[in-house]
Amino acid sequence: MKILIFSWRDIKHPEAGGSELYFHEMAKRWAKKGHKVDWIVGGWDKCLKNEEIDSMRITRVGNEFTLYLLAPLEYLKLKDKPEVILDVSNGIPFFTPLFSKKKKFLHMHHSHREVWFKEVYPKGGKYKIVALICWFLENKLAPLIYRDVPSITISQSSAEEIIKDKLIFDKPEIVNPGINFPKYKKFSKNKKPAILFLNRVKKYKGLDVLLKAVSELKSQGKDKFETWVAGDGDFLPEMKEYVKREKLENIKFFGRVSEEKKRELMQKSWIFVNPSFKEGWGIVNIEANYFGTPVLGSNVGGIKDSVVDGKTGLLFGYGNSKELAEKIDYLINNRKTLSKMSRYSRSYSKKFAWSEKAEEYLKVLRKS
């Protein structure tokens, strides 16, 4: 097939995250099977406008805002039109039904309804207007434009949420993300208990919830562990200031890390914490499991799909730093339970091979 992907970012974008990883890992396997895969994505300062990555052609236009105006023009210039269009909504889709009659699918990781007001709106000024416009495009205009377009998402809870929020009219197909099973240098668990947060440091990712839990344990004299924070983002300076203000010791900030460093940290840590407000799935949860590290995750859509409560980790109420503190303390002091979860986590992660997930997605794209 000739497949064209419209996406906000590609894997080389400085702020690429789980969505970009998901589609890159899927699409490069499609290309390897002989399918022609092209991308139209947003650019960034001094980026290459055209690039081939893993046998896929990437065309970058505009930035995260102007992309949505320029992408249709880029499509209309294509001489070799695709057979299938994959319209990836990062809260806002590309409204491809307005400029193409080709077969298409709308992909939504999750509803962004609350995210606009939690992440964008609080910044004030022009961002309030941006948040309101984005909310309108996602919740009012897009459902009308995509009324007859089949959709795909990545978890059962995301599917239920998308239907509940009336973003689509028919049940979406579900294709969970996979993970890579790379050869890697082996590391033992850290001698001192270590808690790992590895994600983009955005407000909705919930790093503040984890740090408040650490502060809670410090007040109880139970902070005899290390907390590692890996990742970058606009919420990071505020979090560093919080650590300084609360005089939290044993907090180490790594910044954005390489894949090799990520594997090392995931192996050495005792517990991985994902306190996010919203995820479509949570690839990092399964990656941590692969390295034998159980996950403490907030009980929200996506995360509750990728964490098997009581087996690959434990769930806690979103934003409930006291409950998170209790569960950190419980696992650190119950080595037998932690060890059992570690073994089950390794086994569970083997169910999520990218090659199998890529084939699942292709079967959906082949549907008429």
323 and 358: one domain? Answer: no
**Domain membership flag for residue 187:** no
15 and 59: one domain? Answer: yes
pLDDT at 134 over 90: no
pLDDT at 123 over 70: no
**Domain membership flag for residue 184:** no
pLDDT tens readout for residues 341-359: 999 999 999 999 999 999 9
Cβ neighbours for 266, distance < 8 A, ≥ 6 positions apart: 196, 198, 272, 287, 288, 290, 291, 293
Task: Give the pLDDT band of residue 149 (cuts 50, 70, 90).
Answer: very high
The domain of 264 spans: 194-349
> Are 215 and 246 contacting, i.e. CB atoms less than 8 angstroms apart?
yes
144 and 285: one domain? Answer: no
pLDDT of residue 342: 97
85 and 217: one domain? Answer: no
pLDDT of residue 129: 82
Query: What are the C-alpha distances in Å from 34 to residues 4, 6, 29, 31, 252?
Result: 14, 20, 9, 5, 45
**Domain membership flag for residue 234:** yes
Over residues 95-107, mean pLDDT:
97
225 and 264: one domain? Answer: yes
Q: How many residues does the chain have?
A: 368
Task: Give the pLDDT band of residue 74 (cuts 50, 70, 90).
Answer: very high
Cβ neighbours for 347, distance < 8 A, ≥ 6 positions apart: none
Q: Is the pTM of this model over 0.75?
A: yes
161 and 226: one domain? Answer: no
**Domain membership flag for residue 264:** yes
Task: Give the pLDDT band of residue 64 (cuts 50, 70, 90).
Answer: confident
pLDDT exceeding 90 applies to what percent of the chain?
87
21 and 151: one domain? Answer: yes
pLDDT tens readout for residues 23-47: 999 999 999 999 999 999 999 999 9
Domain total in the chain:
2
Name the 3-class secondary structure at 11.
coil
pLDDT tens readout for residues 256-305: 999 999 999 999 999 999 999 988 899 999 999 999 999 999 999 899 99
Tally DSSP H helices, then E strands, for the chain: 14, 14
104 and 63: one domain? Answer: yes
334 and 359: one domain? Answer: no
Closest to 167 in 3D by CA, of 198, 195, 135, 191: 135
CATH number of domain containing 26: 3.40.50.2000
133 and 51: one domain? Answer: yes
pLDDT of residue 368: 66
Other residues' Cβ atoms within 10 Å of the Cβ of residue 54? 14
**Domain membership flag for residue 185:** no
pLDDT exceeding 70 applies to what percent of the chain?
97
159 and 91: one domain? Answer: yes
157 and 199: one domain? Answer: no
**Domain membership flag for residue 247:** yes
pLDDT tens readout for residues 308-344: 999 999 999 999 999 999 999 999 999 999 999 999 9
Compute the distance between CA of residue 189 and CA of residue 367 in angstroms, rounded to an integer.
46
**Domain membership flag for residue 199:** yes
**Domain membership flag for residue 186:** no
